[in-house]
Structure 1
Amino acid sequence: MLTVHHLNNSRSQRVLWLLEELEVPYEIVHHQRDAATMLAPPELRAVHPLGKSPVIVDGDVVLPETGAIVDWIVERYGNGRLAPPIGSAERSRWTYWLHYAEGSAMPPLLMKLVFSALPGRSPLLLRGLIGAVMGKAQAGFVDPQLKAHFDYWEAELSRSEWFAGDAFSAADVMMSFPVEAGASRGGAADGRPHVKAFLEKIHARPAYRRALERGGPYAYA
């Protein structure tokens, strides 16, 4: 049976959701972040050398990286579901969003998280200076980048009901985490009705709710 190494409040929630959508049997090994550092626990390195989540174990295959995992699950268990036909225009759009989610959307969101947290983790005497520098970097670079991405999501979701077209697909599962994180950290849904509607629709899906029940508390829902 497929096993998901699941970290709380992480990208691995998408993997549970995808498996629930496809009704694939799976087991979960739960891992908890360090309360002080928010990093994954060291025992994950016994599963994969980088010690990151998600990681799935499917027979002899040990596979990290959410996009690669989503691709594997859809190909192995999807039976044509949650992906447009190979060779179609919709498939190229689907593939794009699968890669865009981590390759383009997440880096500025991660920078926002790091820049916001860094002053509070700095020595007390330097906290004010580091806070000023981080604040300037956010205002001058990170926040404009995020706005560009958020506006892009709104425009794309105004073209079709879902990211890859008019049918819900695994591309929407992949995009759920950056959109949820963007709404939580940067106000992505504020004044963007299509982004807000996307979040409402995914959160209402029965498979999404089942994944939350199995995965445990998830801050972005």
Structure 2
Amino acid sequence: MLTLHHLEYSQSFRILWLLEELGAEYELKTYKRDPETNLAPDDYKALSPLGTAPVVTDGDLVLAESNAIIDYILDSHPDSPLRPAPGTPDRARHLFWFHAAQGSLMSIQGVAMVLTLLESRTPWPISALLKAIFGQVRKLFVNPRMDALFGQMEKDLGEKPFFGGDTLTAADITLVYPMFAARDKGAFELGYPNIGKWFDRVEAMDSFKAARAKDDRDSIIFRF
């Protein structure tokens, strides 16, 4: 049986939601972060090939990386609408957002996170210099790319209710972590009504509620 090794406040929430949406049989093993370092415990890092979340085991198989795990699980559910078939109207839209989640959105968020961490943990006066330099990085690289992504999201969600089209797909599931992280930081407070409606639709879904109940945390997002 497939086992989801679920690290609290991590990207493994995606897999938990996926399994609940599929109604799949699985075992859930949860791990708490170290209260001092906020890192995964040693037994989790020893299990994962990369020491990161998410990770699943299935017999002798140990698999990491969110989208690889999602594809692996969906291979066992070929009739699921969570992965539109080739040639269907929403196939390209689904593929774009499924890969944009990791390739674009989380990459940009990662850069922004590193900049913030360096600023907050570097002593003055070096921190003042870094703040000036990083301000330019945000202005020239981070903010324009994030604005472009959010603008495309708002446009697409104005045409159809989900990132993958007319119904929930794995694109929505893989986007849930970076989207909630962005919302937690106030990214959608000024405008983006269609994105706001997407959050409402997601949070109203029984599978999402079931995943949140099993996750049993005040947020699905890990805050540094």
Q: Determine the structure 2 residue equivalent to 1:179.
A: 179
Q: Determine the structure 2 residue equivalent to 1:126.
A: 126
Q: Tell me the amino acid that sits aligned with residue 80 of structure 1.
A: S
Contact 2:56 2:63 in 1 (8 A): yes
Contact 2:50 2:64 in 1 (8 A): no
Tell me the matched-pair count: 221
5 Å matches for 1:207-218? 207-218=207-218
Distance 1:138 1:39, change over 3 A: farther
Contact 2:49 2:62 in 1 (8 A): no
Q: 1:82-137 CA deviation, whole Å, 9 max, x = no partner? A: 22233323223222222121011111111122212222222355333333332332
Structure 1 stretches of 5 or more lacking a match?
A: none
Q: 1:40-86 CA deviation, whole Å, 9 max, x = no partner? A: 33333321231011001122321111111111112213533322233
Q: TM-score, normalised by structure 2?
A: 0.88
Structure 2 stretches of 5 or more lacking a match?
A: none
Give the stretch that moved more between structures: 185-194 or 106-115: 185-194
Query: What secondary structure is seen at the aligned counterpart in 2 of 1:39?
Result: coil
Give the stretch that moved more between structures: 190-199 or 96-105: 96-105
What percent identity do the matched residue pairs reach? 35
Query: What secondary structure is seen at the aligned counterpart in 2 of 1:30?
Result: strand
Distance 1:29 1:174, change over 3 A: same
CA drift at 1:38: 3.7
- Which stretches of structure 1, 4 residues or longer, exceed 4 Å deviation after superposition? none
Give the alignment's Cα RMSD to 1 decimal. Answer: 2.1
Distance 1:38 1:110, change over 3 A: farther
Give the stretch that moved more between structures: 36-45 or 103-112: 36-45
Q: Name the CA distance, whole Å, in 2 between partners of 1:10 and 1:151.
A: 26
Contact 2:3 2:56 in 1 (8 A): yes
1:17 aligns with 2:22: no
Q: Determine the structure 1 residue equivalent to 2:100.
A: 100
Distance 1:37 1:128, change over 3 A: farther
Contact 1:5 1:30 in 2 (8 A): yes
Q: Name the CA distance, whole Å, in 2 between partners of 1:193 and 1:210.
A: 26
Query: What secondary structure is seen at the aligned counterpart in 2 of 1:50?
Result: coil
